[in-house]
Structure 1
Amino acid sequence: MAEQEWMSEVRAKVGREYGRVYAWDEVNAPMIRQWCEVMGVDNPLYTDADYAATTEFGGIVAPPAMLQAWCLEGLHANNYAPGSTDENPYEVLKTMEAHGMPSVVAVNSDLAFERYVKLGEKLYYTTKLEAIGEEKTTALGTGFFVTLIMSFFSQKPEGDEKVGQLTFRVFKFRAANVPTAAKADDKDSAPAVHKIKRPKPGMSDDTRFYWEGANAGKLMIQRCTCCSTLRHPPAPVCIKCHSFDWDTVQASGKGSVYSFVVMHYPEVPPFDYPNPVGLIELDEGVRIIAGLVGVKRDQIKIGQRVQVEFQSFDDGELILPMFRPVAA
């Protein structure tokens, strides 16, 4: 099938390198320590200055897997450090969306490292549109594989030095088996409307009680019958006493926001964006991941009190527990 004419505009951008995105801060020990705490990394090379001084590096270095974190925009979307480019390296994806390819799925992401980065270094990255494959038809639909490469550099007086590279590939496509609207001059045909549904959760013998409870408007939590430990997500064995015996209790549905993220991109139907998702600490002591409703991005606060609210999707086919802020 002949490629769409608009793809020539997209392909003309292959090889383009977008401007620099700078890190807000130099590589520093507090951020390394916090990252290691969150990720559960206890290598003394990253946090123990005395130990690190005895190694070949002569001091603390940053975990290689932390490379991308240095140049992230922070809590607010697109809030990049001064001097960063305002170019959008994902502009080709927006063009594809405008021409009927709204769906996207990440195919692979490869992070490679040239060397460790040390305290005091200032990093930045550039993004290159590396390739756009030929049109492909998969089980998901028909579209194109798009590959971008982010190259990370350390600023040096004698010349900037490459320290790592992230290769990111996505499949941008038109979903399979989506009916198209009838032509305007086809008076005998009514437009066919296809509504994309939310993906249904996986269900097993360990989790069935949870989703059946949601269908009944109840927030159910798994409990060990030997030591009474509550646990979520559900599991076949107790994390405390290793018993296989369990039952369930109904939670009050009250809790507080322990942490949260706000999804902005890629925009995947049928979700609304920005899409806030919270890690909720229930009053019973367990934490649960769920969508946040009835609150704007700049109104979400850590520690904010919330209450469960069961919402129906896809004409009642799916019931999900969501959480809405309540007055203090």
Structure 2
Amino acid sequence: MREGQGVRDELYERLRAYEGQAAAVAGSGKDLVNEVMIRHWCEAMGDANPAYTGPGAVAPPTMLQAWTMGGLSGHTDRGEAYDELFAMLDGAGYGSVVATDCEQEYLRPLRPGDRITFDAVIEEVSERKTTKLGTGYFITTRMDVRAQDEPAGTHRFRILKYRPAAAKKSPTAGEPERGRGSLRPRPVINRDNAGFWKGVAAHQLLIQRCAGCGTLRFPWLPGCNACGSAEWETAEASGEGTVFSYVVMHHPPFPAFSASEEAGPYAVALIELAEGVRMVSNVIGVPYDKVRVGMPVRLEFLRTDPELELPVFRGSEG
């Protein structure tokens, strides 16, 4: 019988009692909406929309949750129900947690000087679910955000509290690696970046180009940072570029990176493509200690296993 099928889940019935209870009451943002945080956000996101600078500027809508965060010291206004719910799950063995997704609704622009307040409620606890990570419960919290006591937006945040799946048995000493355990981690492919990976499979490095203003963007995004248009097309990169910045990775031996050039140390670089956008990738073909800012590189496609091919860049010491 499949887990949960026809079996009464007494823990779930206890967890459901927390639906509708407060997760935060009369919370207050630690800072007013301000230009400094807006600037830092836009620089980190690469968002150059002029609506976020100068007189009359507003905050990017996606910063909605940022103004409610408690930082390292946290908030003192969190409801007891949320802590009780977590303690119940921890006590039942569901001690691991991972964020799964969030949804936001925007009701009014946030402007520098706005005072942010909020309430949060435990909106939903799912039935027990089994995922690749393990078995557990999805918990959805809804936060209602106000600016100057006016409704400003709603933020729904969903996590999975779970009991990790049993680890697969590791091969004994001298036994060859088998199955997917020795393969490279797989990229996360979703509706926003599926076209990029389809291009990689065809040995094309595709860049998004806004159909509204023509601005190129990378990595792939659902909308244009420059004009906000959701319409776009693709342009194939020439494959030429230079090293804009880089780090040298050192890590313990890992079966998926057993090839001599990948065993480490190795260089991971921010590559500036000839088209003007930047992407993160490995630099191959030169020793890690010879990689330099400004080094010219050329696109290649590296097959790491029968199911995975990745874009990398070959450097030249000349």
Return the TM-score normalized by structure 2: 0.53
Structure 1 28/199 Cα, relative in aligned 2: closer, same or farther at 3 Å? Answer: farther
CA distance in 1 between counterparts of 2:77 and 2:42 reads: 27
CA distance in 2 between counterparts of 1:209 and 1:101 reads: 29
1:20–1:85 contact (8 Å) kept in structure 2: no
Matched, 1:132 2:150: no
CA distance in 2 between counterparts of 1:168 and 1:92 reads: 16
| SS at structure 1 position matched to 2:65 | helix
1:127–1:149 contact (8 Å) kept in structure 2: yes
- 1:10: which partner in 2? 15
| SS at structure 2 position matched to 1:248 | coil
| SS at structure 2 position matched to 1:33 | helix
CA distance in 2 between counterparts of 1:126 and 1:25 reads: 17
CA distance in 2 between counterparts of 1:209 and 1:134 reads: 36
Q: 1:178, CA displacement in angstroms?
A: 6.3
Indicate which of 255, 279, 288 corresponds to 1:250.
288
CA distance in 2 between counterparts of 1:12 and 1:30 reads: 42
| Structure 2: runs of 5 or more not aligned | 1-5, 169-180, 188-199, 204-248, 250-254, 277-282, 295-318
CA distance in 2 between counterparts of 1:88 and 1:173 reads: 19
- 2:45: which partner in 1? 39
Structure 1 198/247 Cα, relative in aligned 2: closer, same or farther at 3 Å? Answer: closer
CA distance in 1 between counterparts of 2:182 and 2:109 reads: 42
Identity fraction in percent: 30
Q: 1:175, CA displacement in angstroms?
A: 3.4
CA distance in 1 between counterparts of 2:78 and 2:140 reads: 20
Return the TM-score normalized by structure 1: 0.51
> Over aligned residues, Cα RMSD in angstroms?
4.1
Residues 17-63 of structure 1: CA deviation (Å, up to 9, x unaligned): 232331122112222222222221112221121xxxxxxxxx22111
- What is the correspondence of 1:150-169 to structure 2 with a 5 Å cutoff? 150-155=143-148, 160-169=149-158
Indicate which of 63, 87, 99 corresponds to 1:106.
99
Q: 1:87, CA displacement in angstroms?
A: 4.3
Count of paired positions: 207
Structure 1 31/251 Cα, relative in aligned 2: closer, same or farther at 3 Å? Answer: same
| Structure 1: runs of 5 or more not aligned | 50-58, 180-196, 222-230, 253-282, 287-328
Residues 190-242 of structure 1: CA deviation (Å, up to 9, x unaligned): xxxxxxx99964499999997645875x4122xxxxxxxxx626x8xx73599
Matched, 1:219 2:265: yes
- 1:68: which partner in 2? 65
Equivalent AA in structure 2 for residue 135 of structure 1:
R
- 1:239: which partner in 2? 273
- What is the correspondence of 1:65-214 to structure 2 with a 5 Å cutoff? 65-74=62-71, 76-78=72-74, 80=75, 84-85=77-78, 87=80, 89=82, 91-155=84-148, 160-177=149-166, 201-202=185-186, 212=259
- 1:289: which partner in 2? none
CA distance in 1 between counterparts of 2:45 and 2:79 reads: 31
Equivalent AA in structure 2 for residue 40 of structure 1:
G
Q: 1:251, CA displacement in angstroms?
A: 2.9
Equivalent AA in structure 2 for residue 239 of structure 1:
L
- 1:326: which partner in 2? none
| SS at structure 2 position matched to 1:89 | helix
